[in-house]
Amino acid sequence: MPIPRPTTADAPAMLEPDGWPGIEEDLVSDLAVTLRRTCAQLEDVGEACWEAGALFEDGRWQGPAGAAAAVRFEEILEQMRSVLAALALVTDWHFDVCEFVTEVKEDIFTGVLSTQALIEATREAQPEAVPPLIAAQHVSNILKVSGLGLHIGADGTVLLAEI
């Protein structure tokens, strides 16, 4: 379930510009689930192919043509294993991105609500304290969004274990 963007009175000033991740974690999660399903289907196809390799093992296809076909068949199976491994990495990456985005959005959401509560508690007694509170939360949010970008990495790899 996506983390909602805070809608408190001062939230826009704490979130804009660049203080909220511009990615929908539920869409990334849906894609990861689809990729996982595709991976499972390809694994089933791979199993059927590997079972078909018995043709070369039980002596039904012998001689130079059988040997050449067996070599080529093994090359194709290796390519399929590589595709499956790459697809598994892409799937994991999507789940990781979803998790990281969710964590950052939760942190920002909580921070904005806490700051809003503090603003409401101090607005009448110390109105001059409100702009610095908003600015501090905005900077904190920008740092979290930037950290998310660094965490995911410019090349799409996950770089750090924790933000």
Give residue-wise pLDDT tens across range 93-109. 999 999 999 999 999 99
At residue 126 the predicted structure's pLDDT band, cuts being 50, 70 and 90, is very high
Write down the pLDDT at residue 53. Answer: 86
Write down the pLDDT at residue 155. Answer: 55
Question: Is residue 56 over pLDDT 90?
Answer: no
pTM of the model: 0.79
- Read off the tokens for 102: 């969710």
Q: What is the mean pLDDT of residues 124-146?
A: 97
The CATH number that domain 11-152 falls under is: 1.20.1260
Rounded Cα–Cα distance for residues 111 and 145 (Å): 13
Rounded Cα–Cα distance for residues 36 and 15 (Å): 34
Question: Is residue 154 over pLDDT 90?
Answer: no
The three-class DSSP label of residue 131 is helix
Q: What percent of the chain has pLDDT over 90?
A: 77
Write down the pLDDT at residue 160. Answer: 39
CB 144 within 8 A of CB 24: no
The three-class DSSP label of residue 148 is helix
Write down the pLDDT at residue 79. Answer: 95
Question: Is residue 111 over pLDDT 70?
Answer: yes
What residue ranges do the domains of the chain occupy? 11-152
Compute the C-alpha angle 138/4/32, nearest 5°.
Answer: 110
